[in-house]
Amino acid sequence: MSVTVLVNVIVGLIKSVNKKTLITLGVSAAIFALGLAASAVGETKSKPFDSSTTPQEMLDLYKSGLPFKQYISLTIKNPASAELIKQELGDSNIQCGGKGTDVRTNKAVCNQMISFMNQTCTVDPSISRNCEQAYISDYLLSQHLTETQQSKLSYITLARAASTNHPEAIPDELIRLLNTSN
């Protein structure tokens, strides 16, 4: 083999190693960046609902695509958060439960609250005695609310609850969702 051919083979190997090395470094950097982004999203998703939760945080969770049942299962593991969720279940039952002709007529409110009750009670039926209400499934069937719609409406319910603690932080997007979420 001539020296020129040998040199060309060695240069070719060096060039191919550099390309592979660059590709490997590029892929590694991309994986690292995606890992950081996923970690940041994971922190947001795992923050339980509490008195510091803002309406915007709830909207961001909804927009992230995290199913409400998954979020609520993480939230109710925190005792303080579970207490707030129990209060919301009680408020929902008061506003949309009971008996009489005037109950469950405000679909803009009850679609949200009863969806919230169903989604939460499906995850943990023992969280509240309000989970035993027979009208929950009957109402949802009559309204033809899908799982996806219930998830959205459940997030809106918690965004509304968060707005009572943070009335200054009600985003326009929440107002639009409240007006269009029947």
Q: How confident is the model at residue 111 (pLDDT cuts 50, 70, 90)?
A: very high
Evaluate if residue 122 carries a pLDDT over 90: yes
CA pair distance 167, 69, nearest whole angstrom: 26
Q: Are residues 42 and 61 in the same domain?
A: no
Q: Could you give the count of Cα atoms lying within 13 Å of 148 in the half-sphere of its Cβ?
A: 2
- Inter-residue contact 69 to 165 (CB < 8 Å): no
Residue 25: predicted pLDDT: 34
Q: Are residues 133 and 55 in the same domain?
A: yes
- Inter-residue contact 145 to 111 (CB < 8 Å): yes
Range of the domain at 61: 49-180
Q: Are residues 81 and 141 in the same domain?
A: yes
Q: How confident is the model at residue 47 (pLDDT cuts 50, 70, 90)?
A: confident
Q: Are residues 79 and 141 in the same domain?
A: yes
Residue 134: predicted pLDDT: 87
Q: Are residues 117 and 31 in the same domain?
A: no
Look at the chain and report how many structural domains it folds into: 2
- Inter-residue contact 61 to 45 (CB < 8 Å): yes
Per residue in 137-159, pLDDT tens?
Answer: 989 999 999 999 999 999 999 99
**H-helix or E-strand containing 123?**
helix 107-123
